[in-house]
Amino acid sequence: MYHKFKASQLFTGTEMLDNHFVLVTKNDGVIEAIVRADEAGEDVQELNGILCPGFINTHCHLELSHMKGLIPEHTGLVDFVLQVVTQRHFPEDEILDAIAKAESDMLAAGIVAVGDICNNILTLTQKKLHRLHYHNFMEASGWNPLIADIRMEKSLEHYHAFQQAFPEHTSLSPHAPYSVSDELWSLMQPYFLQQILTIHNQESTAENELFQNGTGDFIRLYEAMHISNPAFKAPGTNSLPAFFQQMQKGNQVILVHNTFTNQEDIDLVLKSEVAVSFCLCPNANLYIENSLPPVDLLLQNKLNICIGTDSLASNHQLSVLEEIKTLQLHFPHVPLALLLQAATLNGAKALGMDDVLGSFEKGKKPGVLLLENTAIITRLI
């Protein structure tokens, strides 16, 4: 048995087709074909809107879902980080309830896969229900070189717990350039080999300033948290050139935020042999820094752009469609098809899931969404 869907438009994962085409799937959601309407035969469901593969949320912190609404907007990154660190500790049952609700909300928002940052194992039980596809990034951080061993040991504890349940989709990743010492980078290297890696990149001007001059707002963060790294010497560059070489053993690198990335940084990335994706989280950027990434610059360089929601600590919802709407509002000249590709196939590639998700190619099972006026989502499969 087959389902046949015909809508006003059909987005395949790479291109927007008109209403002369029909999507054919098996009962279980596996894609059979895209055929011309006059060749589709009978029992075609006619719908108003855009047919689209399920969305990929390439960057999320599901474990912070209990922090929704706790941190005010526009604090700037340093004060945001300080508040996350001091306010994240809640009773475990409240955290688990918030995780389950946030996952259900993502399902309702048409999301089929998530690149999720993990600093503990609190999301593991929920993920074992396999309601969504996940790639789990065990986050390691520690600016003080004296605690590198301790931090690595803790991250590996989480890594092994997740790897047992998700052997193909668990990897160890650095938090951010401003939070990983040279010693911790060295300890992580063996775990990078041929893995999918991610890192928060250039989320604030203060991050670039730290690596350019050794000054700026992150000095205040270190003082507030009583963190010392006397060995650090500013290399006189933006942050991306300062750390990017450390990630070259990876198979795929996802740079997240990129709010203050420039052409020089991009040129460095383009010379790399590692596949690199640039993940945009515009609603979180507006929430924390009240800034947006240089979308036009990223598009001009034909980069693999994908979309994430970040966490409910820095967003009002976990919805890829809401991220698309924000990008449309601020960059109205960008074609919808490009944004939908970022939200589907590009994200699936970044997470190593494009063999199953991201596009309506025969044999895949990407989920089928109906978007009405890019506002209402109906999950057809």
Q: Across all residues in the chain, what is the average pLDDT?
A: 98
Report how far apart, in Å, the C-alpha atoms of 69 and of each of 72, 268, 296 are. Answer: 7, 37, 31
Whether domain 1-54+358-381 has CATH 2.60.40.420: the reply is: no
Dist. CA 260–CA 257, nearest whole Å: 8
The encoded tokens of residue 232 equal: 């650090």
CB-count burial class (<10 Å; 0-12, 13-18, 19+) for 86: exposed
pLDDT at 207 over 90: yes
Give the integer Cα–Cα distance in Å for 352 and 347. 9
pLDDT at 296: 98
Residue 118 in this model has a pLDDT that exceeds 90: yes
What's the CA gap between 263 and 247, in Å, rounded?
20
Same fold, 1-54+358-381 and 55-204+239-357: no
pLDDT in tens, 16-56: 999 999 999 999 999 999 999 999 999 999 999 999 999 99
Closest CA to 130 of 113, 110, 109, 105: 113
pLDDT for 227: 95
Superfamily of domain 55-204+239-357 in CATH is Metal-dependent hydrolases (3.20.20.140)
For the whole prediction, is pTM greater than 0.95?
yes
What are the sequence ranges of the domains in the chain? 1-54+358-381, 55-204+239-357
pLDDT (tens digit per residue) in 144-195: 999 999 999 999 999 999 999 999 999 999 999 999 999 999 999 999 999 9
Q: Which amino acid is at 171?
A: S
Contacts (Cβ under 8 Å, ≥6 apart) of 114: 56, 57, 60, 62, 106, 132, 133, 134, 135
